[in-house]
Amino acid sequence: MIEKINDMHVLYSVELQLDRDQIITVGKLGTFHFQRGTYIYIGSAKRAIISRLNRHKKVDKVKRWHIDYLRPFCEITKIITYELGDGECSLAEKLRKTKEGTLPIPGFGASDCKCRSHLIYLGAHHSKKEQSQSS
């Protein structure tokens, strides 16, 4: 796993790899079909970002956030922290555009804001494409 973590930062992205298609119930948000591939979840922690990220790494836990429902089916491949900037909604949109991703689940991770989603889908071949570009 790649980690670029600064405990003074407030925002973070967690890259997840889902190895096969899954039907997952995400709390009250509903039940969704998740395609295999790479996802990025964007979140924030105004205090104790390290504790929040360590919690996301755990699989067995009380489910509190939308990512908690997805996490047992995925492997975390990368974690990056960011300064506050314009907030997690702006970071989610910036990463979606930069990485040419889509928003597969409306409202995922965005229950306390008005943006479309904090979960980005990069596709099934993203990891292989990224590895070949770094070779």
pLDDT for residue 133: 45
pLDDT for residue 130: 52
pLDDT for residue 126: 73
Closest to 66 measured CA to CA, from 19, 113, 2: 113
pLDDT for residue 45: 93
Closest to 10 measured CA to CA, from 114, 90, 129: 90
- Model's pTM, two decimal places? 0.90
The pairing of strands 22-26 and 11-18 is: unpaired
pLDDT digits (tens, 9 = 90+) for 48-64: 999 999 999 999 999 99
Spell out, as residue ranges, where the chain has pLDDT lower than 50. Answer: 128-129, 131-135
CB atoms within 10 A of CB 111: 12
Per-domain boundaries in the chain: 2-134
pLDDT for residue 127: 57
